[in-house]
Structure 1
Amino acid sequence: MRVVSLVPSLTELLYHLGVDVVGITKFCVHPEEWYRTKPRVGGTKNPDINRIKELKPDLILANKEENRKEDVEQLRQFSQVLVTNITTINDALEAIRLIGRVCNVVQAAEKLVHSIIELWKPLQGSADGARVLYLIWRKPYMAAGTDTYIHHVLQHLGFSNAVNQSRYPVVDEKSIRLMNPELIFLSSEPYPFREKHLAEFQGMAPTAHVRLVDGEAFSWYGYRMIPAASYFYLLIHDINEMKR
């Protein structure tokens, strides 16, 4: 089967399920081996349709949030396109199972799902209800709200999302102050927050603990949920120690 992946987290998933690909996006950085060697077909929001067609795919993997509907419609004119829609942890597990069936790697998919469930089980509720503002963008400031995968990961870990709006609302300095979060998480992606940004948000919420977090752990579903578990364990341990 000739597969093109337009979703970075699913590209990594395919690799660990043992499914080869003939094309990936420029944002598919894992695994590094594929990033260096596989044909690239543009970005997630602006794929090179003609280049993809030249690769003669039997299956194209896309995602409702990461890819555009108009691109998917064009791709469906010459290939099967599987569009995932992942907003919960259960959605992520079911997507692994679905891709396992479609790509004929059911056993590998079930094994991965079982491993994720076992690793994530002890993490449930371990953050003890701390109120978190999770920021994904700067200028304008954008946060992860409800009805997002990030929100459900926060919930599973035991954090309380300081944002009660859906999807990814724009927030400003005044609303951040009113939220009065205990923690502000600055994600490494899609906006690459760095150490230099910590003081900017500390000034808006002087009592909050502001820290950089691994955006891949919080927003990449699929195989990335395996290393994410150990990252979350260390993160929550560090936060709980800080609160003592």
Structure 2
Amino acid sequence: MRVVSLVPSLTEAVAVTLPGVLVGATDWCTHPPGLDVPRVGGTKYPDLERVLALRPDLVLLNVEENRRVDADALTAAGVPVRVTYPRTVPEALAELADLLAALGAAEEPAWLRTARRAWADPPRLTPARRAVVPVWRRPWVVLGADTFAGDVLRRLGVRNAYEGHPERYPRPDLAALREAGPELVVLPDEPYRFTATDGPEAFPGTPCALLSGRHLTWYGPSLAEAPAVLADQLARPVTHPA
């Protein structure tokens, strides 16, 4: 089996579980560190000629990270694709188990078993906090309904103020975000790289938790440590002076 992954989460999952299977990955596939496979461009705009030149038996994609046009082009070229779309932690764990078994894993890897245990009873903020969760700036984009990251946060005691919004990624302006009355602002470091000096100043007086985007949005080996990492970061918010 020769696999090209266009999804950083799945690249890591396959590389650490079945390293001989992975023959190509995107430029954004940064884990595991030191991954040495041919690169095929970005997640949104991969170089399909490079992908095809690797003669893959399967290409891994995700509904949110990759484009339908690329999936269609690969299919038209005769290359099978597997498209993932987990929107909850249990869905992610199930999809990972199914994928690795399909690729030839004889049993679930230790990291996946650890992830199942970690998410069976994760640490939670007490009391739960009402939050807004920007994932982009200029313009502001926040988590809305039915997202994987939203489910991760809900399980950790974060109540998303926009979870009932009809859009999965609403674009309220800054005034609307402030008027939503958050008790907490969650600022991940990807896809937009929010930092202590880029983000909290927009919400003076409101605690802002700076989170690891990899642990918040990736579904792979990082799931095993995500509850502990994110709970620690949620418990140490920073507040810009009002």
Structure-2-length-normalised TM-score? 0.90
Question: 1:142 aligned to 2:141?
Answer: yes
Question: 1:152 aligned to 2:180?
Answer: no
2:226 is matched with: 228
1:197-208 equivalence runs, <5 A: 197-203=198-204, 206=205, 208=206
Q: What is the identity, as a one-letter code, of the residue corresponding to 1:174?
A: A
1:47 is matched with: 46
CA distance in 2, matches of 1:127, 1:214: 21
How many positions carry a matched residue from both structures? 233
Matched-pair contact (CA < 8 Å) for 2:115–2:225: no
Matched-pair contact (CA < 8 Å) for 1:53–1:78: no
Matched-pair contact (CA < 8 Å) for 1:4–1:59: yes
* TM-fit CA distance, 1:32: 1.8
Q: What is the identity, as a one-letter code, of the residue corresponding to 2:184?
A: L
Q: What is the identity, as a one-letter code, of the residue corresponding to 1:103?
A: L
2:217 to 208, 216, 219: 219
* TM-fit CA distance, 1:64: 0.9
Q: Using the aligned pairs only, state the percent identity.
A: 34
Matched-pair contact (CA < 8 Å) for 1:198–1:211: no
Gaps of 5+ in 1: 240-244
1:15-164 equivalence runs, <5 A: 15-20=15-20, 21-34=22-35, 37-76=36-75, 77-109=77-109, 111-123=110-122, 125-163=124-162, 164=164
**Quick check: which one's helix share is greater?**
1
RMSD: 1.7
CA distance in 2, matches of 1:48, 1:79: 14
CA distance in 1, matches of 2:9, 2:99: 13
CA distance in 1, matches of 2:39, 2:154: 35
Matched-pair contact (CA < 8 Å) for 2:57–2:80: yes
* TM-fit CA distance, 1:132: 1.4
Matched-pair contact (CA < 8 Å) for 1:201–1:210: no
2:195 is matched with: 194
CA distance in 1, matches of 2:223, 2:29: 16
CA distance in 1, matches of 2:128, 2:95: 28
CA distance in 2, matches of 1:87, 1:124: 20
CA distance in 1, matches of 2:146, 2:214: 18
CA distance in 1, matches of 2:19, 2:83: 17
